[in-house]
Amino acid sequence: MKHYTTLALVLMLLTSCSFLFAQTDEIRLEALKTEVQQKIDDNDKMAQVMVDKVFSFAELGFHEKETANYITGILEKNGFKIERGISGVPTAWWASWGSGKPVIAIGSDVDCIPRAS
């Protein structure tokens, strides 16, 4: 009988510990979400300036030289390694930061349509 009581106490302890760890993970996740939201809010002005700047270049497809230089310059200042001329396209580029997984890709089409704006 003593062994059953000890086993029951150990199981209750393990169950309560896993519940506490789950709460701790949830608290950490909420803190991380709050931090990410704050970083986004802190950079909203910069994001708007970047959008306006790229729009102001109004470059035709495969001739986005100013746009490519502007965006890759910002990425380089923030620690990204830039490979230019990807797939034989002078304005195409690939930015990488760190190594390993996950690999995150962002694609964009930043050329101008003549007489559209």
Longest dimension (CA), the chain: 87
In 3D, which of 97, 99, 69 has the Cα closest to residue 85?
69
Provide the pLDDT confidence category of residue 17 given band limits of 50, 70 and 90.
low
pTM, two decimal places: 0.66
The pLDDT, as a whole number, for residue 102 is 81
User: What is d(CA 97, CA 100) in angstroms, rounded to the nearest whole number?
Assistant: 10
Radius of gyration over alpha carbons of the chain, in Å?
Answer: 25
Quick one: DSSP state of residue 29?
H
Q: How far is CA 93 from CA 75, 82, 117, in A?
A: 11, 7, 26
The pLDDT, as a whole number, for residue 13 is 59
For 20, the enclosing helix (H) or strand (E) is helix 2-42
